[in-house]
Structure 1
Amino acid sequence: MSYMDHSATSPVNPEVLKEMLPYFTESFGNASTLYALGREARTAMEKARKQVASLIGAQPEEVYFTSGGTESDNIAIKGTASKLKNKGNHIITSDIEHPAVEETCKYLEKNGYQVTYLPVGEEGIVKVSDVETAITPETILITVMHANNEIGTIQPIKEIGALAREKGIYFHTDAVQSVGKIPVNVGDMNVDMLSISAHKLYGPKGIGALYIRKGVRIDPLLHGGGHERGMRPGTENIPGIVGLGKACQIAEDNLEKNMEYVSSLRDRLIKGVLGKIEQSYLNGHPTKRLPNNANFRFSSIEGESLVLQLDAKGINASTGSACSSKKLEPSHVLMAIGLKEVDAHGSLRISLGTENTPQDIDYTIDAIDEVVERLRSMSPLWCATPEDA
């Protein structure tokens, strides 16, 4: 099997699993208790908090543990909206956000807030000038993802953050896809809040974190026992937290090496596919993209059929976001970059990991070529004459 859907999830690193296991059994204490078993759990949790903070250039006290990226996004956006409702009711975001941001903004629209959805152009990148134009006296939050989960494009977060800070507006970024894959430093990026999910960087599912810059005040979504300094109450998931911390430490120790290796595989894949398969195209920016992401479209191909036939050949890939894979409508991200609906349906996302090899890439190129040729031979829409593009 060649697993090539790391944007959906990643396997747990064996070192991460080893670190977690004791906290299911002998070190199972509740971190809120005062006796030795509880203190042991709390010590492990605070170690993990430092590991997460170190990866993103934050202070440990600015890191709050959550159940994952979706909860982190919800806390940041709804928490800001609630806290600053007397200051304003306007939020700025982009047309290509993850559903955890997009659907949260739509929810707030139903509850009296105004949301501006910024266009991204054919390369999938927000213009800083568009952000500036969209700002009104009522703007309380800008939320733009660091890197897109489908097409891998990296946004000008530092510049957007500088603009937000100049205007006194809170700035949140969903960095679920970028943390652990490319350098992320909350100070350099001028962000006030940043979302992380462990299972995108070889950690366990069901655990994540939200960075909240010291001095930023937002309301919690949940109320209870005061855990996580009142921002996210509920008994802490110590095994998960330990796993997230270890995954962050491994990612930090190997960041440059992994970036270089995975980007070389990505470039080999893109060159092979575009060079071998007629009427194949790369979605998103050619260079301002995650080192592990390649998103293709193929004329006269239905993406789900392509994914299923690749699966039969032992290749795991996807048509887009795992959170949207059961929806029949085309990807909102691909539609936002100007694709026709038929082309959006004919797209394939391949997201690589450190365990992939050059041999995996070469096999995948040949498999995609074979499957595309077979599907086109059955398609009444296929014409071998190149399209106008």
Structure 2
Amino acid sequence: MIYFDFAATTPLDSDAANVYVKAATEYFGNSSSLHDIGGQSLALLENCRAELAGLLGIDKKGLFFTSGGSEGNFLAIEALLSAPKRKGNHILMGMAEHSSVHGSINRLENAGYCVTRVPFNSSGVIDYENLVNLITPETILVSIQHVNSEIGTIQPIEKIAGICKANHIHFHSDFVQSFGKIDLTNIAHLASSFSFSGHKIYGPKGIGGLFIDPDISWSPFFPGGTHEKGLRPGTINVPAIAAMTVAAQKICKQINEEKNKYLLLRKAFIEAIAPIKEWVHIFQAGESSQLPHIIGMRIEGIEGQWMMLECNRLGFAISTGSACQVGMQTPSKAMQAMGLDIYAAKEFIRISFGRSTTMDDVLKLGQNIVSVVKEFKTTSVI
């Protein structure tokens, strides 16, 4: 099986795995314990916090560890709303946000908040002028994902953060798909909060991080917690944090090299499926607003789930969108945000490259997709 679903999750890096085992066996103490064994675990934890803060260009005082991106998004939204910069009850969010953001904000909407969901333009990017026009005197929070997980488009975070700051509005961003793929050192500090996850960058599952601007006097959602300055309950997973830190160090050093590799692979794949281009629609923005390793596309007349299963039968693992909503009957959020009807939206598939992807892998996938589509089209005509 050749894996093309790196946007969903990545294999654990071997160096990260070794660090996990070492930390779990030699630094096993509870980092909150006052004895020396606990102190050793705490020292490792704080070293990791400082290292990750440096990779992100942020103040380590605002960096907290979570179980992953979903929990980070929930805790961030609740923390920001506990300390709004101005009075109001209006929230602006991207229509194609991760399901964890939708879930959190849907709950708030049911509790009385007014919510406006912002669509994409035809290139899969938030229209900045439209966003500005949707801000009202009651707006207290804007939540826009940095990189869309389904089509890989990059949102104008700097501009959005700027307008939020000028209007005294908190700005949260989901950085799960951008951390390790984009140099964040010049933009991360602009957000009121952002989340990231370990398993997207060849780290372990079940670990992630959340930044909240240290100048914000937030209140915890969960009462009585003592870990991570009261942000969340539960003993801190120091081995997973150490492994995630090693994975982050490696991937951040390779950002430019990997980007160039993925640009070549993307171009090769698009050329490989040229024989069926009359039926293919690739959803993408210009190069400066597009992560090259994620290809979101639809093939006219072929449901995405069927194409995914055909690829699986042939030995290729692709997806129909975010792994957090697989099995649901609703079409992808990115397709809905771009205004596609339900039938076209259900034709969506996602192909994503990773560290182990080779040119030969990409060409084989392209050739097999061409064969499947041609056979399907011939059979359907008969």
- For normalisation by structure 1, the TM-score amounts to 0.93
Structure 1 residues 154-173: Cα deviation after superposition (integer angstroms, max 9, x where no partner): 10000000111111111110
Give the Cα–Cα distance (whole angstroms) in 2 for the partners of residues 105 and 371 of structure 1. Answer: 40
Give the Cα–Cα distance (whole angstroms) in 2 for the partners of residues 126 and 301 of structure 1. Answer: 28
Tell me which residue corresponds to 2:367.
366
Give the Cα–Cα distance (whole angstroms) in 1 for the partners of residues 105 and 172 of structure 2. Answer: 13
Q: What SS does structure 1 have at the residue aligned with 2:196?
A: strand
Tell me which residue corresponds to 1:183.
183
Counting aligned pairs with the same residue, the percent is: 35
Structure 1 residues 296-349: Cα deviation after superposition (integer angstroms, max 9, x where no partner): 111110111111111112111101111111111211221221223222111210
Aligned: 1:203 with 2:236: no
Give the Cα–Cα distance (whole angstroms) in 1 for the partners of residues 89 and 54 of structure 2. Answer: 34
Tell me which residue corresponds to 1:340.
341
Give the Cα–Cα distance (whole angstroms) in 1 for the partners of residues 59 and 292 of structure 2. Answer: 27
Aligned: 1:68 with 2:96: no
What displacement does 1:202 show? Answer: 0.6
What displacement does 1:55 show? Answer: 2.0
Structure 1 residues 254-293: Cα deviation after superposition (integer angstroms, max 9, x where no partner): 2211121122212221232245543111013243211211
Tell me which residue corresponds to 1:100.
100
Q: What SS does structure 2 have at the residue aligned with 1:199?
A: coil
Tell me which residue corresponds to 2:329.
328
Letter in 1 for 2:41: A
Q: 1:32 to 1:328 in 2, by over 3 A?
A: same
Aligned: 1:77 with 2:77: yes
Q: 1:374 to 1:51 in 2, by over 3 A?
A: farther
Tell me which residue corresponds to 1:278.
278
Segment of structure 1 superposing worse, 187-196 or 305-314: 187-196
For 1:71-220, list aligned pairs within 5 A: 71-84=71-84, 87-185=87-185, 187=187, 190-220=190-220
Give the Cα–Cα distance (whole angstroms) in 2 for the partners of residues 281 and 273 of structure 1. Answer: 11
Give the Cα–Cα distance (whole angstroms) in 1 for the partners of residues 50 and 201 of structure 2. Answer: 17
C-alpha contact 2:86 2:169 (8 A) present in aligned 1: no
Tell me which residue corresponds to 1:387.
none
Letter in 2 for 1:308: L
C-alpha contact 2:222 2:232 (8 A) present in aligned 1: yes
Tell me which residue corresponds to 1:7.
7
C-alpha contact 1:147 1:153 (8 A) present in aligned 2: yes
Give the Cα–Cα distance (whole angstroms) in 2 for the partners of residues 293 and 193 of structure 1. Answer: 25
Letter in 2 for 1:73: N
Q: What SS does structure 2 have at the residue aligned with 1:181?
A: coil
Runs of 5+ consecutive residues of structure 2 not aligned to the other structure: none
Give the Cα–Cα distance (whole angstroms) in 2 for the partners of residues 215 and 86 of structure 1. Answer: 15
What displacement does 1:188 show? Answer: 6.3
Letter in 2 for 1:109: E
Letter in 1 for 2:320: T
Give the Cα–Cα distance (whole angstroms) in 2 for the partners of residues 355 and 268 of structure 1. Answer: 16
What displacement does 1:126 show? Answer: 0.9
Give the Cα–Cα distance (whole angstroms) in 1 for the partners of residues 81 and 225 of structure 2. Answer: 23
What displacement does 1:185 show? Answer: 2.6
Q: 1:225 to 1:119 in 2, by over 3 A?
A: closer
Runs of 4+ in 1 over 6 A off after TM superposition: none
Give the Cα–Cα distance (whole angstroms) in 1 for the partners of residues 58 and 189 of structure 2. Answer: 11
Aligned residues: 381
Letter in 2 for 1:291: P
C-alpha contact 1:76 1:218 (8 A) present in aligned 2: no
Aligned: 1:28 with 2:36: no
Aligned: 1:37 with 2:31: no
Letter in 1 for 2:244: L
Tell me which residue corresponds to 1:227.
227
Q: 1:275 to 1:168 in 2, by over 3 A?
A: farther
C-alpha contact 1:81 1:89 (8 A) present in aligned 2: no
Segment of structure 1 superposing worse, 346-355 or 285-294: 285-294
Q: 1:73 to 1:274 in 2, by over 3 A?
A: farther
C-alpha contact 1:145 1:155 (8 A) present in aligned 2: yes
What displacement does 1:223 show? Answer: 2.8
Tell me which residue corresponds to 1:357.
358
Q: 1:271 to 1:216 in 2, by over 3 A?
A: farther
Q: What SS does structure 2 have at the residue aligned with 1:25?
A: helix
C-alpha contact 1:274 1:281 (8 A) present in aligned 2: no
What displacement does 1:106 show? Answer: 0.9
Letter in 2 for 1:336: A
Give the Cα–Cα distance (whole angstroms) in 2 for the partners of residues 277 and 294 of structure 1. Answer: 14
Structure 1 residues 223-261: Cα deviation after superposition (integer angstroms, max 9, x where no partner): 334211122232101111112111111122222111211
- For normalisation by structure 2, the TM-score amounts to 0.95
What displacement does 1:371 show? Answer: 1.6
Give the Cα–Cα distance (whole angstroms) in 2 for the partners of residues 274 and 60 of structure 1. Answer: 48
Tell me which residue corresponds to 1:386.
none
Letter in 2 for 1:164: C
Structure 1 residues 45-94: Cα deviation after superposition (integer angstroms, max 9, x where no partner): 11211222122111222210001000110011122223339822111111
For 1:260-279, list aligned pairs within 5 A: 260-274=260-274, 276-279=276-279
